[in-house]
Chains A and B, each alone.
Chain A
Amino acid sequence: MSDPRIAGASVTQFGKHPERTGRDLFAEAGLEALSEAGIDPDDAEALYYGNFMGELAEHQGHQGPLMAEAIGLDVPATRVEAACASAGTAVREAVKTIRNGEAEVVVVGGAERMTNIGTAAATDALAIAADDLYEVRAGMTFPGAYALMARSYFDQYGGSHEDLAHVAVKNHEHALVNEHAQIQKEITVEDAMEAPTIASPLGLYDSCPITDGAAAAVLTTESYAEEHDLDAPVAITGTGQGGDNLALQDRPHLAQTPAADKAADEAYGDAGVGPDDVDFAEVHDCFTIAEVFAIESLGFYERGEGISAARNGETTRDGDRPINLSGGLKAKGHPVGATGVAQLATVAWLLDGSHPRADAVPDSTVGVAHNAGGTVASTTVHVMEVRE
């Protein structure tokens, strides 16, 4: 069993590109990843592609073969849907395919076109990741769901909206040098506190923006990389996935994310590492509170203690374990079906030193990507390590 190497990766500029079709967004990322990898496209044997709302945003189903064609490949192509964890789940499928010996070169990616339908329709589309009968019909929106979780967290463990503001300030600051980021604007705690409320206690700056974008990566075996003299020092050494009840009302705790606990345990076990070995992580901060849940589930903090990490400067770029050096979903943007692969690319670039924030984690050897779907009813965790 060979741990897949990341031979090349690419992300488009994340932002408002309402006129760009999903297939064009993915073509840009996919072709650049292939070229970056320096692999003969004829050697690619499969595509796993993440997308969440293609039917609603582009009236387009059956996107697997469409996207393979868009990057010039004639390979078995499978679309993976797990809400916001679609691309992380696609990565897991690609990892399994390579480990099983079924393919030597696999392309993995994702794309989402969202801003073309406007904020109201995008809010509507995002909401369908929740339980339609019991949540959406009771007015639950995506921010509303995380607001319920945030209020429950404050009630059970303490913390305040101001603690969350520090998460937003940190991630905005991290994104300042990321040219792929949707938002490159420094904000203050006051800005975040004074922003309009969208679903109390969460305000505008607690939420990631609505984003168009795509990401892609080319995975290959260690032996293929050696034979073809590829520059692919980063391996995916651990993969994990966990699930939970879809509806919040059916979970024993509103302020915990056991799906992520399970995914993290599995991925760490798979890689043979523990939370203390991890130098940095890209986590799914669709809302500021989601970063808090993520760093607790990843074992970096005890329950109830992740809330003060950003405020204490422990997760900033000069902190002990930087979180979301890309700017996270919060500032980088969240093209839903692409996010998990954009995280993978970011971790690889931070490990190989080519990311503009790599100076924050020099000599790092272990990075983690945490990608969560809906209210964390699906989560994937991937451990990546430098293997010269």
Chain B
Amino acid sequence: MTESAQDGEYDAWLDSIESDDGYYLECSNGHGWLPPRRVCPRCHDQDLSAVDLPESGEIASHTTITVPTPQFEDDAPYVTAIADFGPVSVTGLVRDVDPDDVTIGDVVGIDVGERVTTGDRAVVFRPR
């Protein structure tokens, strides 16, 4: 992955998270999505605008993964969670907390970190 081309708007979005300038795309009816999106899959609206991502979200669900893919071999065990940021939810790795202490409803901030096994960038959540 490190040698290959960038993934357009996805990597640009990661850059924005990394520089504390995170955003999501919102349609006229308030549905939130992450890029790349040209249309809201819920209401077909194509008028999507970039809106600041809230500074903190809440863990909606989480799992501690002990049987990883080879790309996460040295990361395991690790916590993958979906965090709810209001109109948009994001999937990421939970860091800086004992996996046994992660709970639904925990408030987290979003950042970009490194995957242990490959050094690739990944979305990470940390308790706030």
Q: Please indicate the chain A residues that have their CB under 8 angstroms from the CB of B69 in the complex.
A: 120, 123-124, 127, 136, 141
Contact A249 B65 (CB under 8 A): no
Q: Give Cα A120–Cα B73 distance, bound, in whole angstroms.
A: 9
Residue of A nearest to B11 (CB): A133
* Residue A386 CB within 8 A of the other chain: no
* Residue B66 CB within 8 A of the other chain: yes
Contact A139 B67 (CB under 8 A): no
Q: Please indicate the chain A residues that have their CB under 8 angstroms from the CB of B72 in the complex.
A: 139
* Residue A245 CB within 8 A of the other chain: yes
Which of A195-203, A272-280, A325-333 interfaces with chain B? A195-203
Contact A199 B104 (CB under 8 A): no
Q: Give Cα A152–Cα B81 distance, bound, in whole angstroms.
A: 11
Choose one: B7, B70, B91, B120; the contact of A249 (CB below 8 Å).
Answer: B91
Residue of B nearest to A119 (CB): B67
Q: Give Cα A202–Cα B66 distance, bound, in whole angstroms.
A: 10
Choose one: A137, A199, A247; the contact of B65 (CB below 8 Å).
Answer: A199
**A 120-142 to B, binary, CB cutoff 8 A, 1 in contact else 0:** 11011001000001111111110
Contact B89 A155 (CB under 8 A): no
B61, B80, B120 — most chain A CB neighbours (10 Å): B61
* Residue A149 CB within 8 A of the other chain: yes
A135-B91, A199-B64, A249-B89 are contacts. A140–B80 as well, Cβ < 8 Å? yes
Q: Please indicate the chain A residues that have their CB under 8 angstroms from the CB of B81 in the complex.
A: 148
Q: Please indicate the chain A residues that have their CB under 8 angstroms from the CB of B93 in the complex.
A: 138-139
A144-B80, A148-B80 are contacts. A138–B68 as well, Cβ < 8 Å? no
* Residue B126 CB within 8 A of the other chain: no
Choose one: A133, A138, A201; the contact of B92 (CB below 8 Å).
Answer: A138
Contact A152 B60 (CB under 8 A): yes
Contact B122 A151 (CB under 8 A): no
Q: Please indicate the chain B residues that have their CB under 8 angstroms from the CB of A123 in the complex.
A: 67-69
Name the interface size band of chain A: 35 or more
Q: Please indicate the chain A residues that have their CB under 8 angstroms from the CB of B71 in the complex.
A: 124
Choose one: B7, B68, B75, B89; the contact of A133 (CB below 8 Å).
Answer: B7
- Give the number of residues in B that approach A within 8 Å (Cβ atoms): 36
Choose one: A121, A137, A152, A200; the contact of B122 (CB below 8 Å).
Answer: A137
**B 20-64 to A, binary, CB cutoff 8 A, 1 in contact else 0:** 000000000000011000000100000000000000000011111
A133-B7, A248-B91, A254-B60 are contacts. A139–B66 as well, Cβ < 8 Å? no
Q: Give Cα A281–Cα B29 distance, bound, in whole angstroms.
A: 40
Contact B91 A144 (CB under 8 A): no
* Residue A250 CB within 8 A of the other chain: yes
Choose one: B34, B61, B122; the contact of A148 (CB below 8 Å).
Answer: B61
- Interface residues in A161-213 (C-beta closer than 8 Å to B): 196-202
The contact sample of 5 A-B pairs, CB cut-off 8 A, is A124-B70, A134-B90, A136-B69, A141-B65, A247-B91
Binding site for B on A (CB under 8 A): 119-121, 123-124, 127, 133-141, 143-144, 147-149, 151-152, 155, 196-202, 245, 247-250, 254
Binding site for A on B (CB under 8 A): 7, 10, 33-34, 41, 60-73, 75, 78, 80-82, 88-93, 99, 104, 115, 120, 122-123
The list of the 7 closest CB pairs from A to B, nearest first, reads: A147-B63, A124-B69, A152-B61, A249-B89, A138-B91, A148-B61, A198-B67
